[in-house]
Structure 1
Amino acid sequence: MEEPTSGPEPEAPGIPAAPESAQGPGEPAGPAGPQPLGVPVTPTGRPAVDAALRRLAEADHLPASGHLDMYEDVHRGLRDELASLDQQPGPPAPSATTYDNRS
């Protein structure tokens, strides 16, 4: 006996069926466009770093073509800030003078 050729196709094991949509053909499903990630930013106490991290939120308002330039600019700023830590004065370096305590 032959199986009918019309009707819904059976689901493949382990693959859920696609939900039926209320939209008509050609209408986009879901929200219109990308949504912000909403990643929380914890202040670091370093103004330049905090400004760079806040700037990452601008990616939510840029077209994808602008993301790379913005990310590179933020990365450059963070790298410069990290490099500036090496330029700040710290405790004096140990003296190269040796003392002879053989008196």
Structure 2
Amino acid sequence: MSESVSEADSVAGSVAEPEVVGEVEPEYDPAAPPPLNVPRTPTGNAEVDAQLERLADADHLATDGHLEVYEDVHGGLRDALTALDVRLGPPAPARH
């Protein structure tokens, strides 16, 4: 009987307990760059606001990764401003 008990204990001991799945907090890394936490006030223009929110991506990058984000945002803002110059509707009549 002692053998069956030890076998049962070894089987019970080998059963893995279910893993608890939940939110995992990111580990604190003192060497990681601190977030910039620059406030971004919505403008009311969805295209511009999306570009401003893209700036938050720089919060998680080292300084050398900021350039790519800034260039991307700059291009998006330039496109949004250029779109404002496009005239909607029929072309204006030519003056002679």
Aligned residue for 1:65, secondary structure, equals helix
User: Structure 1 length as normaliser, TM-score?
Assistant: 0.53
Report the aligned-residue RMSD: 2.5
Aligned counterpart, 1:57: 56
Shift of 1:94: 8.1
**Identity of matched residues, %:** 59
Find the aligned partners of 2:33 and 2:61 in 1 and give their Cα distance.
10
Any conservation in 1 of the 2:37–2:59 contact (CA below 8 Å)? no
Runs of 4+ in 1 over 6 A off after TM superposition: none
Q: Distance in 2 between matches of 1:48 and 1:65?
A: 26
Q: Alpha-carbon deviations, 1:25-80, whole Å to 9, x = none?
A: xxxxxx81322222211111111100000010110112322211111011001001
* Pairing 1:21-40 to 2, within 5 Å after superposition: 32=30, 33-40=32-39
Matching of residues 67-82 of structure 1 within 5 Å:
67-82=66-81
Of residues 48-57 and 64-73 in structure 1, the stretch that sits farther from structure 2 once superposed is 64-73
Q: How many residues align?
A: 66
TM-score, normalised via structure 2 length: 0.57
| Structure 2, gaps ≥5 residues long | 1-28
Q: Structure 2 CA distance, aligned partners of 1:79 and 1:49?
A: 10
If each structure's helix is expressed as a fraction of its own residues, which one has the higher value?
2
